[in-house]
Amino acid sequence: EQARVLSESPERLRGELAEGTRQLEAAYTDLRADLQLAGQFAATASEADRQAMNSAVQQVTAVLDAGPQGDPLRALAAAAAANVQIDSAIGAAREAAERLQRAVAARDEALASARAEVLSAEQFIETRRGAIGAEARTRLSEARRQLGIAEELAQSDPARSYQSAQQASQYARAAYQLASSDVSGWGGPGGGSW
């Protein structure tokens, strides 16, 4: 029985090596594709994500450069470890890119809304100057300031730009409401509404 097992060992090992070689080629193909994907994300990734990506790219490159070196099973284990590292780095960069896309979309909507609300409040207040009190004007001034901050940060920090645009909208709405109250309570010459 031992002799039979020993005599079958080379055939079994040959099969395992053939399968390992096939899997290794597939792993190398996957790693090359991951290298291309990493290159696409590297340009827009944060500094921390870029460092993780560079480390993973170096490990993948070393595995690909080393090749099987006569032991496809050991090379397959090294390729699998490199694949885990680069997949993790790509995943983090992809999540960051998706967060950025969502922040940019939210920023764009908030900026459009803030611009419209500030303009509406400005027009209402400007056309009714004499009836508008200081509180409404102060709110409008703060709305303009927050809108300016939002526009300034629009490209560099979409999340903060969104927050400032939201605040601009809130101040503009408050200015409009205060101005409306001022106008409805204001009496011109003779005590009538102007």
172-192 tens-digit pLDDT: 999 999 999 988 877 654 444
Question: Residue 116: its pLDDT value, please?
Answer: 95
Using one digit for the tens of pLDDT, what is the confidence trace for 94-125? Answer: 888 888 889 899 999 999 999 999 999 999 99
Say whether pLDDT at 9 is over 90.
Answer: no
* Pick from 176, 169, 175: nearest CA to 106: 169
Q: How far apart are CA 140 and CA 169, in angstroms?
A: 10
